[in-house]
Amino acid sequence: MPRPITKINAPEPELLAALDCFAARVATIVVDRLRAGTDPRWVDQHQSPLGARRHCAAVRRRIAEGAGGAELIGRRALLEQQALTEELARNRTKRRAAADDVQGLADELGLKLVGGGRK
């Protein structure tokens, strides 16, 4: 015995209008997020002078701290130029402090560093 064929009713015009509004809103959000990656104000991990690992770590840390200037969009980690400048300055300060610690320890022990204390 064959199954009866049920006719699918056409959607109501109000439903179609609501779906159009929803689709337009979603499309706007998607376009904004995709443009964020091509905007010159944003730098992703592949173009970052920090290198990919430090760049991604900086993005995760800034998002966790709520510092702003960082976005994760899909697999792309983005930093604004201002945030990137702050991260570069932050890393230089850490390195300088570590070099001062090495020099201070050498002075305390009465040692002379050869080659500036770098490997």
One digit per residue, the tens of pLDDT, for the chain of length 119 reads 666 666 566 668 888 888 999 999 999 888 777 766 567 788 889 989 999 999 999 999 999 999 999 999 888 899 999 999 999 988 776 666 677 778 888 888 888 888 754 55
8 A C-beta contact, residue 34 and residue 27? no
Q: How far is CA 37 from the centre of its chain?
A: 10
Is there a domain that residue 73 lies in? yes
Is 12 within the bounds of a domain?
no
User: How far apart are the C-alpha atoms of 30 and 17, rounded to whole Å?
Assistant: 20
Specify if 11 maps to a domain.
no
58 contact partners, CB below 8 Å, separation of at least 6: 50, 70, 79, 83, 87
Q: Which candidate, 66, 62, 65, 105, places its Cα nearest to that of 87?
A: 62
What pLDDT does residue 14 have?
A: 84
90 domain-assigned: yes
Q: In the beta sheet, which residues pair with residue 71?
A: 78
Range of the domain at 87: 41-111
Instruction: Give me the number of domains the chain comprises.
Output: 1
- In this prediction the pTM is 0.51
Q: Which pLDDT belongs to residue 28?
A: 86
Predicted local distance difference test score (pLDDT) of residue 82: 93
